[in-house]
Amino acid sequence: MAHWSKYSEELIATAKAIGTSGKGILAADESTGTIGKRFAPINVENNEANRRSYRELLFTSEGFEQNISGVILFEETLHQSTADGKPFPTLLNEKGVLPGIKVDKGVTPIPGTEGETSTQGLDGLLGRCQEYYKAGARFAKWRAVLKINKELGLPSALAIQENAWGLARYAAICQEAGLAPIVEPEILMDGTHTIEEAAAVTEKVSMCQYLTGRK
């Protein structure tokens, strides 16, 4: 860990702050396409100005900081400011809320599987994380998705290991740049599986992630 030890105390403090009792993380990292789907029903044009205004509305809501410990931002939002020119990371820090950043580049199919995916974004990640840190981000999110289908034997061992490896590399790179990584293999609820089957898969995936992260 010596190569990123200069951030070790800050990383620990960040993790503790994110986990503050009674508070949660606000996911405000919708992609441009996703936020467009939310604007459409209320006839709001999906442009940069409206996306900025929407995020400002969220971050300046009265009492916002009483229940939120951190906010995951989309890259565009990390570099935006309030109407009076205050950068969003500065605004959040003043409220005692940690700015975070989504760092993955979406999912891609794993060849030879039944539609399973791995997550893209490791190429150039260190440089991007260093820039995100300079811009004010202090933690990161990486979305790895696994689905359950008992008939097809999903998630497959290949998908579990591939996503565990990606999350482990992402976590190591983030810490080297001073960002505390959220390591969360997302196991989708969609399907006909039972809660017991979901629990068993979650345990299996978590164990693989833990062992991979230690290597």
The pLDDT tens digits of the residues spanning 21-49 come to 999 999 999 999 999 999 999 999 999 99
Question: Does 2 fall in a domain?
Answer: no
Query: pTM of the full predicted structure?
Result: 0.93
Q: CA 39 → CA 26, 27, 49, distances in Å?
A: 19, 17, 13
Confidence label for 3 from pLDDT (cuts 50, 70 and 90): low
CATH number of the domain encompassing residue 186: 3.20.20.70
Confidence label for 92 from pLDDT (cuts 50, 70 and 90): very high
Split into its structural domains, the chain has a count of: 2
119 and 210 in a single domain? The answer is yes
The last residue of one of the domains, among 68, 102, 136, is 102
pLDDT(116) > 80:
yes
Q: Could you tell me the residue range of the domain that residue 206 belongs to?
A: 104-215
Please give the Cα distance from 154 to 103 (Å, whole number): 26
Q: Name every residue whose Cβ is closer than 8 Å to that of residue 213 and which is 6 or more positions away in sequence.
A: 164, 167, 168, 171, 183
63 and 130 in a single domain? The answer is no
85 and 26 in a single domain? The answer is yes
pLDDT(176) > 60:
yes
Q: Name every residue whose Cβ is closer than 8 Å to that of residue 203 and which is 6 or more positions away in sequence.
A: none
Confidence label for 6 from pLDDT (cuts 50, 70 and 90): confident
Amino acid code (one letter) for 65: E
Q: Are strands 185-187 and 144-146 parallel, antiparallel or unpaired?
A: parallel
60 and 140 in a single domain? The answer is no
117 and 92 in a single domain? The answer is no
The last residue of one of the domains, among 56, 77, 102, is 102
Q: In the prediction, which pLDDT does 45 show? A: 98
Mean pLDDT within 120-138: 98
Q: In the prediction, which pLDDT does 2 show? A: 44
93 and 109 in a single domain? The answer is no
- Taking CA 70 as the corner, what is the angle to CA 212 and CA 215, rounded to the nearest 5 degrees? 10
